[in-house]
């Protein structure tokens, strides 16, 4: 009798464990799908025909819209996050110029509020990685620039996680931004008249000669008049 009761308890425990395992196994794919994305940012600039790592810069990553990959795996649909509802648009349909303009505008908003969801600083190789990203559209902004990197200008941009490449869904994204090198301002040039510089000393000497000749003629006449 005692063995029968023990067996029933063991059987109940086994059933409970099986149910919990089944529920947990069903939840795991959804959790994994939401947190397997990453962005590896490789920051390198060109100076004097050499590629240099831009170390010590701090970047912010902000989710602008939540993403959902179509069942066929050929497209991604986006739903704008509540914080950016007033900027809602067809994110996937933005043209390059529209994307740049909107990224700059949203970057100004984010910098003013200082609401940075994720921050990362580039290492000595100019690399920073953002892990555990859910599917969506992200805004990448440089919020602090190391003094040695001030000449390299960074333009805010959108990044998709995941991306569909050749029909495959890629969750680990690598980004190598293109930096614009700020050239120092040169003093304004004087307006050009088309006249070469070499006649200047010639004209100066000629002027002195004519001046002396005029003085000689003037004094010569006075002496002549005085003699008469």
Residue 161 CA, distance from chain mean position:
17
In-domain check, residue 165: yes
Per-residue confidence of the chain (228 residues) as pLDDT tens digits? 555 555 556 656 556 555 445 444 444 444 444 458 999 999 999 888 889 999 999 999 999 999 999 888 888 999 999 999 999 999 999 999 999 999 999 999 999 999 898 999 999 999 999 999 999 999 999 999 999 999 999 999 999 999 999 889 999 999 999 998 876 665 665 555 555 555 666 666 667 766 666 666 665 655 555 555
One domain for residues 17 and 50:
no
Domain termination residue (choose one: 166, 181, 196): 181
Q: Tell the residue number behind the tokens 């010569």, with chain if given.
A: 220
Classified as helix, coil or strand, 227 is helix
What pLDDT score does 12 carry?
Answer: 65
Whole-angstrom Cα distance, residue 182 to residue 128? Answer: 23
One domain for residues 101 and 165:
yes
- What string of DSSP letters covers 110-136? HHHHT--SEEEE--TTSEEEEEEEPSE
Whole-angstrom Cα distance, residue 76 to residue 164? Answer: 8
Instruction: Show the domain range for 85.
Output: 36-181
What pLDDT score does 53 carry?
Answer: 96
In-domain check, residue 197: no
What pLDDT score does 23 carry?
Answer: 41
C-beta separation of 60 from 156 below 8 A: no
Q: Which two tokens stand for residue 112?
A: 């003013």
Q: How many domains does the chain have?
A: 2
Q: What is the pTM of this model?
A: 0.67
């Amino acid at each position: 009798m005692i063995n029968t009761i023990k067996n029933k308890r063991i059987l109940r425990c086994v059933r409970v464990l099986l149910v919990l395992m089944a529920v947990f196994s069903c939840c795991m794919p959804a959790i994994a799908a939401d947190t397997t994305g990453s962005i590896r940012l490789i920051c390198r600039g060109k100076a004097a025909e050499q590629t240099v790592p831009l170390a010590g810069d701090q970047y912010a990553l902000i989710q602008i819209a939540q993403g959902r990959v179509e069942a066929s795996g050929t497209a991604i649909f986006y739903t704008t996050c509540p914080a950016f509802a007033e900027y809602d648009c067809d994110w996937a349909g933005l043209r390059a110029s529209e994307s740049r303009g909107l990224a700059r505008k949203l970057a100004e908003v984010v910098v003013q509020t200082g609401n940075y969801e994720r921050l990362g600083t580039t290492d000595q190789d100019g690399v920073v990685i953002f892990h555990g990203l859910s599917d969506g559209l992200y805004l990448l902004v440089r919020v602090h620039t190391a003094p040695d990197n001030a000449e390299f200008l960074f333009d805010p941009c959108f990044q998709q996680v995941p991306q569909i490449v050749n029909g495959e869904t890629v969750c680990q994204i690598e980004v190598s931004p293109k930096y614009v090198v700020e050239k120092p301002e040169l003093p304004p040039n004087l307006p050009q008249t088309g006249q070469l510089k070499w006649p200047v000393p010639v004209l100066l000497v000629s002027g002195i000669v004519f001046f002396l000749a005029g003085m000689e003629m003037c004094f010569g006449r006075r002496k002549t008049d005085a003699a008469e």
